[in-house]
Structure 1
Amino acid sequence: MTEFALVLILFVGSHVFPAATGLRERLMLRFGRPLYLTVYSGLSVVLLIWLVSAASRAPYIGVWQTTRYLVVGSMALNLLAAILLACGVLRANPLSISLQSGPTDVEHPGVLAVTRHPILWALFLWALAHCLVNGDVVSLTMFGGFALLCVVSRPVLEKRAARRLGLEGYRSAMAVREGDLSQRLGRAASRQLAMEIIAGIVVFGLMLMFHEALLGVDPLVYL
């Protein structure tokens, strides 16, 4: 349990400390955004693997039993998470997490017409889904921590974007969400969005297919 607590603190701290102290911006200025993001992403993956490994060795303290209904609910959330991830990962999004740089395509914004933070929402739903089917103290702490990190990251990302883009740039990026929901859905609809949704469904299917091989648990056995 001590190892798990230590790695959890390191993982959360690695996401909170650089942004809260301005270290992230200073390192980007010195080494460049691509190099910083590459190194930071690699470190995050290493810490995540260590965290999951430490969680598997921690004592099991049950809170509730996994049921078929919880598994079905978890799968539904994971499917939505996979679709949001696929829809957001290759979209230029100056307001939030994105693998692409540049301004948002105002004419064809896709999922960004509905939410400013598709990847953040995907991670939140993924964490929530795993809380449902892992009713023990260690898993709830780990996945609940991920979900909480997503919640507190949203205002941080938006404040950072406002500083980086300036008033006019921020207003321009926000323009994709102008109008009521039906208008935004109309702008979001496109062939590209349909392909992204299909890609998300495929990703979800692959997750189910290889979940047991990678993590030792087959979610389908509960159905």
Structure 2
Amino acid sequence: MLTLFLGLVVFLGVHSVQALLPEQRQLWQARWGAGAYKGLYSLLSLAGLVLMVWGYGEARHHPVVIFEPPRALVHASFLLMGISMVLLVAAYWPRNQIRARLRHPMTLGIKVWALAHLLANGTLADLMLFGTFLLWAVVVFRSARRRPVAPAAARPASITATVATVMLGLGVWALFLWGGLHAHLIGVNPLGSMRA
């Protein structure tokens, strides 16, 4: 659990700087240069990610079960993951109305992702990992909403880009859920418990 905890502190700490300490971030960039700052940011992010994956993997070998999620919550988590994937795609797909309206779909997507996994998993490691991500996303989203809105893009959002965003997000969701991508990347088949 300590490895997972350290990974969460490093990974989410690094990813909190821009939202929670923007002035300090600017000072560091001015002092070290943008390239050095981005390099350090990337190295710390990677180190935190490795520690999280390693720590979570270790914890899965000796799970401490807090509760057994009811089947209805597991089904609800599948639907929430569809929404999460659409939001995550919306953060990167240009000119979609979802990003134009919500402004921070990535953080919202992480919130929904974390909530979905909290509903479907009941071990101590799951509560630590996904609960921490959920709390982090709530704090960062609130902070980001307080910042001034950037000027609108020269080309307005379009319905075509929005439909493409939704379709791509749902496609990625289907690949994870039914296409075996979750089992291949994470080592867990989310539909396994449904077939028991």
Q: Structure 2 length as normaliser, TM-score?
A: 0.79
Counterpart selection for 2:141 from 143, 147, 154: 154
- Structure 2 counterpart of 1:31: 33
The whole-number CA distance in structure 1 between the counterparts of 2:36 and 2:162 is 30
Structure 2 CA distance for aligned equivalents of residues 77 and 50 of structure 1: 27
- CA deviation digits over 1:27-57, x for unaligned, max 9? 334533x774565345324412321220221
Poorly superposed stretches of 4+, deviation over 3 Å: 16-19, 27-30, 34-39, 170-173
Please identify, of 17-26 and 64-73, the stretch whose mean Cα deviation from structure 2 is larger.
17-26
Alignment of 1:53-64 (within 5 A): 53-58=54-59, 59-64=62-67
Shift of 1:4: 2.5
Distance 2:159 2:42 in 1: 31
SS of the aligned residue for 2:181 comes to: helix
Judge which range, 144-153 or 42-51, deviates more: 42-51
Q: Which residue of 2 aligns with 1:68?
A: 71
The one-letter code matched in structure 2 to 1:218 is N
- Contact 1:67-1:222 within 8 A present in 2 as well: no
Q: Which amino acid aligns with 2:76?
A: G
How well do the aligned residues superpose, as a CA RMSD in angstroms?
2.7
Residue-pair matches, total: 185
CA contact (8 A) 1:114 1:188 kept: no
Cα offset, 1:2, TM superposition: 2.5
1:11 aligns with 2:14: no
- Quick one: percent identity of the two aligned structures? 29
Helix, strand or coil: the match of 1:219? Answer: coil
| 1:212 counterpart = 2:179 | no
Letter in 1 for 2:6: L
AA partner of residue 21 (structure 2): A
1:87 alignment partner, one of 85, 90, 97: 90
Q: State the Cα distance separating 1:189 from its structure 2 match.
A: 5.7
Shift of 1:114: 3.0
State the TM-score, normalized to the length of structure 1: 0.71
Residue in 2 that maps onto 1:43 = 44
What one-letter code is carried by the residue in structure 2 that aligns with 1:9? V
Q: Which runs of 5+ in 2 are unaligned?
A: none
How big is the shift at 1:204?
A: 0.9
- Determine helix, strand or coil for the equivalent of 1:217: coil
1:199 counterpart = 2:168: yes
Aligned 1:102-113 pairs, distance under 5 A: 110-113=97-100
Structure 1: runs of 5 or more not aligned: 92-107, 163-169, 174-186
- For residues 126-141 of structure 1, the aligned pairs below 5 Å read 126-141=113-128
Which amino acid is the alignment partner of residue 160 of structure 2? R
Matches within 5 A, 1:108-119: 110-119=97-106
- C-alpha deviation, 1:66, in angstroms: 3.5
What is the rounded CA distance, in whole Å, between the counterparts of 1:155 and 1:64 in structure 2? 30
Q: 1:198 is paired with a residue of what secondary structure? A: helix
* 1:179 paired residue number: none
Per-residue CA deviations over 1:170-198 (Å, capped at 9, x if unaligned) read 4845xxxxxxxxxxxxx866111111111
